[in-house]
Chain A
């Protein structure tokens, strides 16, 4: 059984929403990284929607953290939404929210 990831991107004005569903792990995450890298200059906000997320491993979390740092460098905002309670707890424990809040307050 092969794990699958599905990525869809929607652009509205200066906001880019990336819908991530399925399994985001070491073996599947290349399309996710590609989508993050493809965020165009001039984008004001990137929203990553995890509503259809089944599983995320440390490599996937690393991509989110790298996105947060890139957003700080390139001056755009990042928002995570649609997480399950379990994913929310995982992000909180590892420090994803703390990193995003600290970088955003530094960037203001």
Chain B
């Protein structure tokens, strides 16, 4: 290749790189705004979520959808893979959830509708999404949930007792067509915290290749059970950062918390949750 041609290609590559970096930053901005946009206010409790991608953008997803009957639909999901490909499918997942949440009765139906909507695309792409979906009923203080191959959330009470949610099985989105997802229900009491999360938390690694693991997470949650949901988020993130001690994050990290507070039920509880921008 001649010298002037080499310079031309170098310049072109430089421009391409700059353009790609700018577009990825814009994509990150879109994803962060969509993910971390609105946290709903609920009767007799509080909810919060946070997602930290391993790269500039990621494939983890959480969302809240206030239902007209006063319940709140919560979802957390993890798209196979990382980075830009996973982020593209995360947006697809968000669209499927919002559309399904509007037209389905419960979390099981929502997950079925999402699998029906996404199955062909995911199979064509050789990808999948694990997902956990739950409806919080503030009046009955019941959480009804369905699972598409996601890890079971944890529940910690005011006495620091911590356990996994009862197992409810279902195949991941994109695994098999025409799936039905069974539901389970738990009753929550004052001080309980439900902790939904993705595997990036328990699989975070330190420089010795050791993982953070669920046992460490359970200890941290038990110790912070008296804190507000946003404080618990910070405590978990700080604990992971202290554990990995500077080792670059390998996988996206996402958590959603629901904490039950004292009963202040009023006529307002018949209204939908309020979304704060």
Contacts and interface: CB of A to CB of B under 8 A. Distances in A.
Contact of A61 (B80, B148, B251): B80
B172 A95 contact: yes
Given A26-B82, A62-B127, A57 B251 contact: yes
Contacts of B171: 94-95, 98-99
B81 A62 contact: yes
Contact of A26 (B79, B81, B128, B176): B81
Interface residues of B, number: 27
Contact of A1 (B126, B150, B203, B207): B207
B149 A94 contact: yes
A98 B79 CA distance: 19
Interface in A24-75: 25-26, 55, 57-59, 61-62, 65-66, 69
DSSP class of A's interface residues: helix, strand, loop or mixed? Answer: helix
A58 B126 contact: no
Contacts of B128: 58, 61-62, 65
A1 B172 CA distance: 32
B109 to A, nearest CB: 18
Interface string B124-151: 0011101000000000000000001111
Contact of A95 (B149, B203, B207): B149
A89 to B, nearest CB: 10
Contacts of B151: 93
Interface of A: 1, 25-26, 55, 57-59, 61-62, 65-66, 69, 93-95, 98-99, 102-103
8 contacts: A1-B207, A58-B78, A58-B80, A65-B126, A65-B175, A99-B171, A99-B176, A102-B176
